[in-house]
Amino acid sequence: MIVEHLAGALVAATATLVELVESAGDAARPALNTLEEIAHLLGRMNSDERQELRDVLARLAAAEPARADFIRSLPSALGWDGAP
């Protein structure tokens, strides 16, 4: 399903950007700006769409144990705490 592939790409891109921010300090401003834009754009999803993405992320986390914690943390990192 295309949604799983897109979510996988989102996870890969987000993980790379987070790594850049954590390792490059001030030089990583473009990566941080991109992460903020991703959060903003995904924040436009309605509650059903967010739930669908959460479900896909749960499946990805189960399939990728090495990155499971990171994958499970994405909704919170996107500012969806307490949001359906």
Per-residue pLDDT of the chain (84 residues; tens, 9 = 90+): 688 999 999 999 999 999 999 998 778 899 999 999 999 999 899 999 999 999 999 999 999 999 999 999 998 988 877 655
Q: What is the pTM of this model?
A: 0.83
Question: Which strand (E) or helix (H) includes residue 80?
Answer: none
Q: Pinpoint the alpha helices (H) of the chain.
A: 2-24, 29-42, 47-63, 68-77
Q: Do 11 and 74 meet the contact criterion of CB atoms below 8 Å apart?
A: yes
Rounded-to-integer distance, Cα 1 and Cα 75, Å: 21
Q: What is the pLDDT of residue 26?
A: 77
Residues making up the chain, counted from first to last: 84
Cα four-point dihedral sign 40, 41, 47, 50? negative
